Amino acid sequence: MEKKSEYQISAYANDGFFEVVITGNAIGSDFEKMMNEVNVILKANNAKKAIFDFCALEGRIEHTEIYRFVRNHHSVIFDIKSAMVDLPENAHYKTAVKNAGLSLNWFTDIDDARKWFKSEQ
């Protein structure tokens, strides 16, 4: 019997960019599966800009694993303008992805991320 994923991905276009909201749990191999699904969504929609909202992601891999993952797996995220929205207590994830070479802006409020994208147009 196949295990059901414990994460959910919602993605939609919003005023010239994509918003990707990830909820639930993405631990271990589920994290890689989730990121692969996000890549498929972004590629299928030819996304050039995206906001990734992780505020409701409860179970996640360690920030040290984020560094390893980013260094070892190419993602569409490397090729598009990106913003990450997360809770203030998860700021160590921002540091890990930036140290791994992923260029993105980090916000604690999705409205601030939206304003940033709109100001960049």
Contacts of 70 (CB under 8 A, 6+ apart): 96, 97, 100, 101, 102
33 phi-psi bin (left φ>0, alpha ψ -120 to 50, beta other): alpha
C-alpha–C-alpha distance, residues 44 and 29, integer Å: 23
Structural domain harbouring 17? 7-119
pLDDT attached to residue 1: 43
Beta strands at 57-60 and 81-85: parallel, antiparallel or unpaired = unpaired
Q: Report the CATH number that the domain containing residue 31 is assigned in CATH.
A: 3.30.750.24
Domain-located, residue 2: no
118 phi-psi bin (left φ>0, alpha ψ -120 to 50, beta other): alpha
Q: What radius of gyration do the chain's Cα atoms show?
A: 14
Give the pLDDT confidence of 17-67 residue by residue, as tens digits: 999 999 999 988 898 899 999 999 999 999 999 999 999 999 888 888 888
Domain count, the chain: 1
Domain-located, residue 16: yes
Phi then psi for 49, rounded to 5 degrees? -140, 140
Q: Which of 4-13, 56-65, 109-118 has the highest mean pLDDT?
A: 109-118
Domain-located, residue 1: no
pLDDT attached to residue 100: 84
